[in-house]
Amino acid sequence: MSESSCLRCGTPVKTDANSYGTLCVHCHENPPSFNLCRSAMLYLETADILFKAFKYRKNWRLSGYLSEILLEHYQEHFEKFQHDLILYVPSHPLKNFRRGYNQSYLLACELSKKTGIPMEIELVKKVRKTESQATLNREERQKNLVGVFAVDGMRGSRLTGKRILIVDDVVTTGATVEEICGLMKAFKPALIHVLTAARTPLAYQ
Ligand SMILES: [Zn+2]
């Protein structure tokens, strides 16, 4: 048995005679709304310390370091797609107020500056607050997210025919990006890619 990555969502998968070729079990059973998702690092012990400092201890300056890692990964896996727009995973305004910032927004801003790809602000909004997803499984997370996000109807047409890159800090089950990409698909973008700084390995989800 060897380890490789799911071609669609990028999660590490063990490959053997019974696996689904190059897709993880989730992408095989329910193909996601995004075309490709890749992460710069696995969410292991060191990443845990880094992201807790970034998200919960107001170390917003870490966005500079993390965006350098994102840029490297972008150049390796995504640059050839020549994206038209960068978006980020929004958080609720109340949470932004309490934390002082949205970490995905900061990363997207930095990547936009470094690549020259324009960023759309508040095109996708978080319109309803969610309880913490930490204790929920994949299905519960998906249900918990219904009606939580909305695409700004006045500006949704900006997605049409465009190559979109969504930036997030950490992807866990992928439920949040799936919900957002599902909403965006109604506006018929040419493709949707997701780039995150870290990913939780499948075994930990
Ligand atoms: Zn997958």
Which tens digits make up the pLDDT trace of 139-164?
A: 788 888 889 999 998 999 999 999 99
Least confident range of 82-86, 157-161, 196-200: 196-200
What is the value of pTM for the model shown?
0.89
CA-based nearest residue to 197, from 8, 27, 54? 54
- The tens digit of pLDDT for each residue in 1-58 reads 456 788 899 888 876 645 566 888 889 898 999 999 999 988 888 888 888 888 777 7
Report how far residue 183's alpha carbon sits from residue 196's, in angstroms, rounded to the nearest whole number. Answer: 19
Calculate how far, in angstroms, residue 7's C-alpha sits from the geometric centre of ligand 1: 7
The partner residues of 3 in beta bridges, in order of sequence, read: 14
* Residue range(s) occupied by CATH 3.40.50.2020 in the chain: 33-204
What are the structure tokens assigned to 159, written together? Answer: 């997605």
**pLDDT over 60 at 185, yes or no:** yes
Reading the block at residue 187, the tokens are 């506006």
Question: Which of 1, 101, 117, 5 lies closest to 54, judged by CA?
Answer: 101
Say how many Å lie between the CA of residue 161 and the centre of ligand 1: 25
DSSP lists the bridge partners of residue 164 as: 85, 192
Q: Tell me how far the alpha carbon of residue 90 lies from the centroid of ligand 1, in angstroms.
A: 23
Q: How far, in Å, from the CA of 59 to the mean position of ligand 1? A: 31
- Domain 33-204 belongs to what architecture? 3-Layer(aba) Sandwich (3.40)
CA 22 – CA 145 distance, rounded (Å) = 28
C-alpha 30 – ligand 1 centre gap (Å): 9
